[in-house]
Amino acid sequence: MVLKRIFRKKGDAEQELTVEDLITLERYDEAAERLRARVKAVKQDLHAHLKLAEVYLALREVTKALDEYVFVADSYADDGFFDKAIALLGKAAKVAPGDDTLPRRIERYRRLKRLEHRRRLAIEGLRSNRSTVAQSAGNSALEVELLWNKIAKSHLVEELSGEQLKKLFSVMEMRRIIEGQTVAKAGSPERMMLLVVNGVIDASCELNGQRTTVRSFSTGDVIGESALLEGKPWPADYEVVESGTVFRLSRSGFEQAMVGNEDPRGFISTLRQQQNDRDVAASLQRLKSGG
């Protein structure tokens, strides 16, 4: 059938050549025109975009070919097919070895792939957490996703492995916090750590008869790491100034998270990474000394 279309004689009934026919005949300009019209009509026709990239390469229009490869790779990544996106850009990088934007984009896809892996395991942990399920009953799947979206950029998510996140979020207790609530008092020996999901918590103290705010904490911030890990008293009063949600890690929860932990030292280092307790204590010391 293909041969009949290509080698038809004059006078034969007109049969339109396909894009593949045009490519076989090396009529690349016509093939490119046909493919451009196709992707204009159906932008997400990824097969047509890939075919157009090949045609551009045949025409030695490398920049245009790279644009098509990147469009398709981004579409793959948006749908969660990171391996396909990485493989396609690897192919594009061989065509344009001097283009330094492609390795950066590949690394970005790799980070997104790792994040997706963490997301899946963290959500498994959240869904197995009784406090999470109890407080989001009736719509738990949606709320768990919303919780993840709020904490996805926290340093805990960026630094911990998927398995560590799964274990951690399975033992942290989800709690609602209400404006005006005191979550910890200065000098309290309570051994716990809080991850702020949303809302705002102020660390403050009485200074010269006035309430002075030392630091404010919001989404992604960790407080109480010194209290939990080192048994130090809380350095200030921590009061909710905007209602929201926190995850509370108790001493027993921490011990559970450490059982079978693949990297216990790294896990502890990540929990204390922000050093917010130390910063609050240092700020208080400066304020009290008039510095």
pLDDT computed for residue 150 by the predictor: 87
Q: Which residues contact 36 (CB under 8 A, 6 or more apart)?
A: 52
Long-range contacts (CB closer than 8 Å, 24 or more residues apart) made by 212-220: 212/287, 214/280, 214/283, 214/284, 214/287, 215/276, 215/279, 215/280, 215/283, 216/241, 217/276, 218/242, 219/150, 219/151, 219/154, 220/151, 220/153, 220/154, 220/155, 220/156, 220/195, 220/196
CATH 1.25.40 residue ranges for the chain? 2-99
**In which residue are the tokens 């045949």 written?**
58
Structural fold of domain 2-99: 1.25.40
C-alpha 89/C-alpha 178 separation (Å) is 48
Averaged pLDDT score across all residues of the chain: 88
Average pLDDT over residues 222-226: 96
DSSP 8-state class, residue 184: E
Q: What are phi and psi of 97, to 5 degrees?
A: -60, -20
Residues 191 and 226: beta-carbon distance below 8 Å: no
pLDDT computed for residue 230 by the predictor: 94
Q: Say whether 176 sits in a helix, a strand or coil.
A: strand
Q: pLDDT tens digits, residue range 125-167?
A: 888 877 655 555 444 667 777 888 888 888 998 899 999 999 9
Closest CA to 69 of 83, 56, 79: 56
**In which residue are the tokens 């999901």 written?**
197
pTM of this prediction exceeds 0.95: no
CATH 2.60.120.10 residue ranges for the chain? 165-288
Q: pLDDT tens digits, residue range 82-101?
A: 999 999 999 999 988 888 89
pLDDT computed for residue 282 by the predictor: 93
C-alpha 192/C-alpha 188 separation (Å) is 10
**In which residue are the tokens 């929990």 written?**
271
Q: pLDDT tens digits, residue range 159-199?
A: 999 999 999 999 999 899 999 999 999 999 999 999 999 99
164 residue type, one letter: Q
Q: What are phi and psi of 175, to 5 degrees?
A: -135, 140
Q: pLDDT tens digits, residue range 36-95?
A: 999 999 999 999 999 999 999 999 999 999 999 999 999 999 998 999 999 999 999 998
C-alpha 183/C-alpha 239 separation (Å) is 6
pLDDT computed for residue 128 by the predictor: 81
Q: Which residues contact 150 (CB under 8 A, 6 or more apart)?
A: 197, 198, 219
C-alpha 156/C-alpha 115 separation (Å) is 12
Residues 121 and 166: beta-carbon distance below 8 Å: yes
CATH of domain 165-288: 2.60.120.10
> pLDDT exceeding 90 applies to what percent of the chain?
69
